[in-house]
Each structure stands twice: as structure tokens, then as C-alpha cells.
Chain A
């Protein structure tokens, strides 16, 4: 199994550009989430989904949109990139919503200039 995959691995954007970070899992997991990781701050939850068609905001949702049209895919959209969005982004999935370990993708390193 591929597990959780993310594309691209690296991306450089100019301020104001938009882009979509892709995330897919092949484990039929219900719960998927997006995190950003900044130095000294651990991981912070951006958005999550408890199943196809259902999304909700996490701790730091501003500037990001998500959708969950299928169980497998959970893309993260940056509407108008800002330098403050320079970070490493991780997608994760887990079988259920509570009390289950999450499986993380390899991450996308995004730089906004």
C-alpha cells in the first residue's frame, strides 16, 4: 500500500499566487487532516474531515480551503499565498475520528516569496 501520499514535495510561490497541495490515502480512512509545521511550534491543525463531504476548521484555518469529495482525496488550497504561509505541510489520515493513531504523509515544503 502507498499509505498517505502528498504532492508536490517542494513548491515556491510568489505572494498572491494560488495553488493546491494534493493529499491521497489508499487505506479507506474516514478521518483526514492537514497540519503545518513551523520551527519551534510543533504541528498545528489547519482543517480536517471526518468523511466525504464533511470538513471543519482546525486551529489555524485562515487563508486555506479544503474539500472532501471522495474518501481518498483531501486537497488543501491556498487562495492567495502570503510569506506567513511558508511552512512544511503534512497531511494525515486515521481509520476513525477519535482515539486512533494518525498516518502522516511525507510533507510538502512550501516557500512563499
Chain B
């Protein structure tokens, strides 16, 4: 059965900490892996990864994919309270199927 598993499910850190969020997957015909940030409403796009070992970076956020071990990580350095959100990992697979993980709820305390 296709599945995407995120860990941890929730995380509480203090401002300035560095966090690593994990996403592992088992799907048929992997196409790409995407990370989204969800605050109060709709998810917003962060990264899309298709190739192993190539880091995507945007400011304090970065992500990398390992297609051999079937996982991705999302790193956030020097966290801020505005980083508090649910971070969703999603995998595109088969022809047009998208499977989301349950998400990691990150809380950044001042």
C-alpha cells in the first residue's frame, strides 16, 4: 500500500533552534516529493524534489531527497515564531496520484 510517513508528528522548539523534519515514503512509480507549509488555512508550496542528493534552499529552509533510502528531510535553521505551522510532505506517484503525510506540527516558542 502506498504511504507517506512524517516524523515527528509534533515538535516544540525555541527561537534560534535548528529543526529537521523527516518524510519517508513507499509508493509505486515515484515522480516527485513536495513540501508544503500550512498555517491557518491553505497549504503553501515550499519545495519540489525530483533528484537525489540535490539540495533545494530558500532562506533558512532547505530540503534534500534520497531516492535510494526513500526519504526526504526539511531543515529549518535559526527558527522564528513565524515558522510555527504544520509542515506537509506529499509524493506524486503513478500517473496523477498525490499522497500526503499526516504532517509535522512545529511550534516555535519565543
Contacts and interface: CB of A to CB of B under 8 A. Distances in A.
Q: Do A and B come from one complex?
A: yes
Interface of A: 31, 33, 35, 40-45, 48, 50, 56, 58-59, 90, 97-107
Interface of B: 4, 6, 9, 31-32, 34, 41-45, 48, 50, 88, 90, 92, 95-103
26 contacts: A33-B98, A40-B102, A41-B102, A42-B4, A42-B88, A43-B43, A43-B100, A48-B96, A50-B96, A56-B96, A58-B97, A58-B98, A90-B43, A97-B95, A97-B96, A98-B31, A99-B32, A99-B92, A100-B48, A101-B45, A102-B45, A104-B42, A104-B43, A105-B42, A106-B42, A107-B41
Contacts, number: 57
Nearest to A48: B96
Contacts of B90: 43
Query: Interface on chain B toward A: helix, strand, loop, or mixed SS?
Result: strand
B22 to A, nearest CB: 14
